[in-house]
């Protein structure tokens, strides 16, 4: 999830852990703990795009990391406050919950997380977008309200717990919506006699009403959209040829298997003006439908001056965001045109 959401969750679990003992200090250190796992993004400063994306949500998002770092950070915080209000065990408990709930929340998103690192397996339920105001805003409001009550006031714990409960209920609702829309996509494919190998579903940006699916067929991938506000259940699917043969000799380079692993096999190859692009389909399109051929994650493949194959993330133009969001929310409301 986005940084703000992780800060809110971290603050809430910090309060739940030892808020009665240390007050808003628990929220502060919980928020810090909820931020720490995402410091792995700093790897982009020292390495290439592909390696950085491989490292993201890896070790720092694992159970092992939480177990190792919690007592170390707990000891440091206890030293800062000299055990006046809470001891090392208290701070260790807080830091573990802050560190551990971060990857648990991330596991519900499309990217997923290597919760069981060093095992090369990502947990990804794909039932919530990385930024979802309906999850974050009520949670944030209740956490802020909690801060204004004294640590001994019983209302403080009740309000904080309410934020955790509401956000958790919403998460369960999105799991139900994923199951419901999955069957809508599946039935539509079958009614159109589309033979497929695999299907994945996920919510579109900033909401849980409009869902999209990636469908793998023998020679292509298909993408469709379904809104809970649609007047009918018919779903139009846009087709994108795999074109894996366009890799040519590049397929023998060690970089390509890494990209395939990163995309979990959901990728297409395209050539545009003599440039070769590797499209990772898991995170959807920049836009919607067959006309939106660009994907959120796309790498330009090229050989550098030394003849080494490189992958550079395709540039995203910020000026395109506004019209895309307008189309998105129009589609959320059931407008298929």
Q: What's the pLDDT at 7?
A: 98
Residues 188-207: pLDDT tens digits?
Answer: 999 999 999 999 999 999 99
Confidence of residue 294 (pLDDT cuts 50, 70, 90): confident
Which of 145, 174, 203 is the last residue before a domain boundary?
174
- Angle among Cα 244, 248, 251 to the nearest 5 degrees reads 70
Residue 184 lies inside a defined structural domain of this protein: no
d(CA 213, CA 46): 35
Name 228's Cβ contacts closer than 8 Å, sequence gap at least 6: 177, 181, 209, 210
Q: Does any domain span residue 237?
A: yes
Does the residue 179 lie in any domain?
Answer: no
**Domain co-membership, 165 together with 228:** no
181 within domain boundaries:
no
Rounded to the nearest angstrom, the gap between the alpha carbon of residue 95 and the centroid of all alpha carbons in its chain is 22
Within-domain flag for 28:
yes
Taking CB atoms within 8 Å and a gap of at least 24, the contacts of 188-193 are 188/224, 188/226, 188/233, 188/234, 188/235, 188/237, 189/215, 189/237, 192/237
CA-to-CA distance for 69 and 82, rounded, in angstroms? 19
Task: Give yes or no: residues 226 and 319 share one domain.
Answer: yes
CA distances from 10 to 7, 20, 24, 78, 103 (A): 5, 16, 12, 18, 11
Residues 10 and 132 in one domain: yes
pLDDT of residue 83: 77
What's the pLDDT at 322? 78
Question: What is the sign, positive or negative, of the torsion defined by CA atoms of 190, 192, 193, 199?
Answer: negative
- Cα distance between residue 214 and residue 197, in whole Å: 11
Q: Fill in the DSSP letter of residue 87.
A: -
**Angular region, 243: left φ>0, alpha ψ -120 to 50, beta rest:** left
131 and 23 fall within a common domain? yes
- The reply to whether 146 and 59 lie within a common domain is yes
Q: How confident is the model at residue 319 (pLDDT cuts 50, 70, 90)?
A: low
Residues 235 and 330 in one domain: yes
Asked whether residue 120 is assigned to any structural domain, the reply reads yes
Cα distances (Å, whole numbers) of residue 16 to 35, 69, 238: 17, 20, 47
> Residue 43 is encoded by which pair of tokens?
């790897």
**In a shared domain, residues 21 and 64:** yes
- Domain membership of residue 186 (yes or no) is no
Same domain, residue pair 58 and 94? yes
Q: 114 and 65, same structural domain?
A: yes
The token pair that represents 149 in the structure block? 């009550």
* Average pLDDT of every residue of the chain: 94
Co-location of 209 and 143 in the same domain: no
Task: Say what the pLDDT of residue 293 is.
Answer: 58
Same domain? For 165 and 218 the reply is: no
Domains of the chain: total: 2
Residue 230 domain flag: yes
Range(s) of the domain holding residue 315: 192-337
pLDDT digits (tens, 9 = 90+) for 100-124: 999 999 999 988 899 999 998 999 9
Domain end among 142, 174, 206: 174
Give 144-200 as a DSSP string.
HHHHTS-TT-HHHHHHHHHHHHHHHHHHHHHHHHHHHHHHHHHHHHHHTT---SEEE
- Is there a single domain that holds both residue 203 and residue 329? yes
pLDDT for the residue numbered 142: 98
């Amino acid at each position: 999830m986005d940084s703000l959401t992780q800060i809110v969750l971290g603050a809430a679990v910090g309060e739940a852990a030892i808020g009665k003992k240390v007050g808003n200090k628990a929220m502060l250190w919980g928020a810090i703990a909820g931020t720490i796992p995402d410091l792995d993004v700093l790897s982009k400063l020292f390495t290439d795009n592909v390696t950085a994306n491989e490292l993201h949500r890896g070790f720092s998002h694992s159970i092992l990391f939480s177990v190792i770092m919690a007592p170390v950070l707990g000891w440091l915080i206890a030293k800062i406050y000299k055990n006046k209000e809470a001891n090392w065990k208290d701070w260790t408990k807080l830091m573990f919950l802050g560190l551990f709930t971060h990857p648990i929340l991330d596991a519900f998103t499309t990217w997923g997380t290597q919760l069981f690192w060093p095992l090369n397996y990502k947990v990804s339920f794909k039932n919530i977008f990385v930024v979802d105001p309906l999850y974050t805003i009520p949670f944030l409001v209740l956490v802020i309200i909690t801060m204004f009550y004294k640590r001994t006031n019983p209302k403080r714990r009740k309000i904080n717990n309410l934020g955790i409960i509401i956000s958790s209920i919403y998460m369960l609702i999105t799991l139900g919506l994923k199951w419901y829309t999955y069957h809508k996509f599946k039935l539509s494919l079958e009614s159109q006699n589309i033979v497929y190998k695999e299907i994945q579903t996920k919510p579109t940006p900033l909401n849980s009403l409009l869902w999209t699916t990636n469908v793998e067929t023998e020679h292509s991938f298909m993408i469709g959209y379904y809104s809970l506000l649609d007047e009918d259940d018919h779903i139009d699917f846009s087709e994108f040829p795999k074109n894996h043969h366009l890799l040519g000799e590049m397929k023998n380079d060690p970089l390509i298997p890494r990209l395939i692993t990163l995309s979990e096999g959901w990728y297409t190859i395209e050539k545009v003006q003599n440039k070769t692009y590797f499209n990772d389909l898991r995170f959807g399109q920049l836009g919607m439908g067959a006309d939106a051929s660009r994907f959120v994650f796309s790498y330009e493949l090229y050989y550098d001056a030394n003849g080494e194959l490189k992958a550079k993330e395709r540039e995203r133009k910020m000026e395109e965001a506004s019209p895309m969001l307008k189309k998105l929310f129009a589609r959320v409301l059931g407008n298929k045109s």
